Chains A and B, each alone.
Chain A
Amino acid sequence: MSRILIVDDEPDLRGMVRLILELAGHSVVEAHHGKIALQRLDEINVDLIITDVMMPMMSGSELIDHLRADPDRSGLPIMVLSASPHEIDNADHVMRKPFEPAELRHAVATLLSSDASG
């Protein structure tokens, strides 16, 4: 079982992603923007971060920049959930909204397995 942090300011979207991941056997932690995500990461270890881009207080891109600059966390796999047509170049995977639950499960499995092997 892996622990996944979901960062999104939309509670309904977090809830839906949480359900998909929990049904796939993962444990889920939530944060509603980047700053809260960083606080959560100080308290617990996670195997993967799934983050939205446009959020108040701290955006997904700012969150990723923070994590990439932190030597302890720079290797943490990060998936972005994006509704923006613009490129996000500092994530390990970009999932375009709307997405199918199967696509999300598949991408999560791939990121978790490549993380474990590398």
Chain B
Amino acid sequence: MWKGTQSIRRRFGMKQRNNARQNDRAKTRTLYMVAHDLSGPITVLNGYLSLVQDGSLALDQLRPYLPVMANQLEHMQRLLQVLLDTARLDEGRLELNLEPLDLGGFVESIVAGLRPVETLHRLVVDRRQPTLPVLADRVRLESIVRNIISNAIKYSPEGTTVICVARSSASNAVLDVVDEGPGISAANLRRLFTRFGRLGDAAAARAGVGLGLFLSRELARLHGGELTASSKPGKGSTFSLRLPLRTIEARQS
């Protein structure tokens, strides 16, 4: 296999060789990232099952842990969705199932569904308009919103506030997720939405952003919208999702 790789490389020009190498590295990183993200849920599920199997835990004592196990399975399902969507995106085959939704109400329901353990932060939803009608894919929109809210929670100290502002701006419905975290440097802001745009050095060791923000931005764009970030180091960051507003007039049929 090594010899094969060598002979192929010899036939390539310098540029293709570099591109191929970058691609290889990117793929390797994806594989590691997927392995890493899977290892948590597998450890948890396997742990409880093994405790029952080795007799440390009676079967009926497992019942209180079923919600945790279900949560870990959901986690794996979301990861599967990210992988499939990323692959579909590569092939240009990602299709949205659009339906009319109210962005403010949608965000509020997601925040209400977050488990108490995730809310060592104060989570506030500020709905500036009674309704913000958009056409969106429910599953993909949830994935974008969850992604930016969970990043805000993950990267800011507990006890601080994360505000989700749902507002309108010109012809857009906008969700701003504002945190009081350490902020993101200009260099890292540029890398944030790239395919494997983890943050540099120490931040990278703390947690991988991985495919999440890359996919979220691509999904926002498929909706005709955009996902952007701004930050004041030391003060906090704001992630803004924009989706085209659907006015009543536009909602025929």
Residues of A within 8 A of B (CB): 9-13, 15-17, 19-20, 23, 32, 53-59, 61-62, 81, 83-85, 97-102
A97/B56 in contact, CB under 8 A: no
Q: Which residues of B contact A (CB under 8 A)?
A: 32, 35-36, 39-40, 42-44, 46-48, 50-51, 54, 56-57, 65, 68, 71-72, 117, 120, 154-155, 157-158, 202, 205-208
Taking A12-B44, A62-B202 as known contacts, 15 extra A-B pairs with beta carbons closer than 8 A to each other, sorted by chain A number, are: A16-B44, A16-B65, A16-B68, A17-B47, A20-B51, A54-B36, A56-B155, A59-B205, A83-B40, A85-B32, A97-B39, A97-B42, A100-B46, A101-B54, A101-B56
Whether the Cβ atoms of A16 and B206 lie closer than 8 Å is no
Q: Which residue of B lies closest to A60 (CB)?
A: B205
For B44, the chain A residues whose CB sits under 8 A away are 10, 12-13, 16
Query: A12-B71, A12-B72, A19-B51 in contact; A55/B207 too (CB < 8 A)?
Result: yes
Enumerate the 8 nearest inter-chain pairs by beta-carbon distance, A residue then B residue, closest first: A83-B39, A98-B43, A97-B39, A16-B47, A98-B42, A83-B36, A59-B205, A11-B117
How many whole Å from A31's CB to the nearest CB in chain B? Answer: 11
**Could you show 27 A-B contacts with beta carbons less than 8 Å apart?**
A10-B40, A11-B117, A12-B71, A13-B43, A15-B65, A15-B68, A53-B205, A54-B36, A56-B154, A56-B155, A56-B206, A59-B206, A62-B205, A83-B35, A84-B32, A97-B39, A97-B40, A97-B42, A97-B43, A98-B42, A98-B43, A98-B47, A99-B43, A101-B47, A101-B50, A101-B51, A101-B54
CA distance A84 to B34 in the complex (A): 11
A13 cross-chain contacts in B, Cβ below 8 A: 40, 43-44
User: How long is the Cα–Cα vector from A15 to B50 in the complex, in angstroms?
Assistant: 15
A6, chain B: closest CB distance, angstroms = 13
In the complex, which residue of chain B has the Cβ closest to the Cβ of A54?
B207
Shortest beta-carbon distance, A28 to chain B, in Å? 14
Tell which of B47, B54, B71, B206 touches A54, judged by Cβ atoms closer than 8 Å.
B206
Report B15 CB to chain A, min CB distance, Å.
30
Cα distance A94–B44 in the bound complex, in angstroms: 17
Chain B residues contacting A59 (CB-CB under 8 Å) are 202, 205-206
Q: Are B39 and A98 in contact (CB under 8 A)?
A: yes
Chain A nearest CB from B52 CB (Å) reads 10
A55 and B42 contacting across the interface, CB-CB below 8 Å: no
CA distance A16 to B48 in the complex (A): 7
Q: What is the bound-complex CA distance between A85 and B155, given in angstroms?
A: 24
Q: Which chain B residues lie closer than 8 Å to A62 at the CB level?
A: 202, 205
Q: Check A56–B207 contact: CB distance below 8 A.
A: yes
Q: Report yes or no: A20 in contact with B32, Cβ–Cβ below 8 A.
A: no
Shortest Cβ distance from A100 into B: residue: B50
Bound form: Cα–Cα A85–B39 in Å: 12
Chain B CB within 10 Å, residue with most, of A9, A12, A16, A61: A12
Cα distance, A51 to B35, chains bound together (Å): 19
Name which residue of chain B comes closest to A55, CB basis: B206
The answer on a CB contact under 8 Å between B40 and A23 is no
Residues of A within 8 A of B57 (CB): 19, 23
Q: For B39, B40, B207, B208, which residue has the most chain A Cβ atoms within 10 angstroms?
A: B40
Q: Of all chain A residues, which has the CB nearest B117?
A: A11
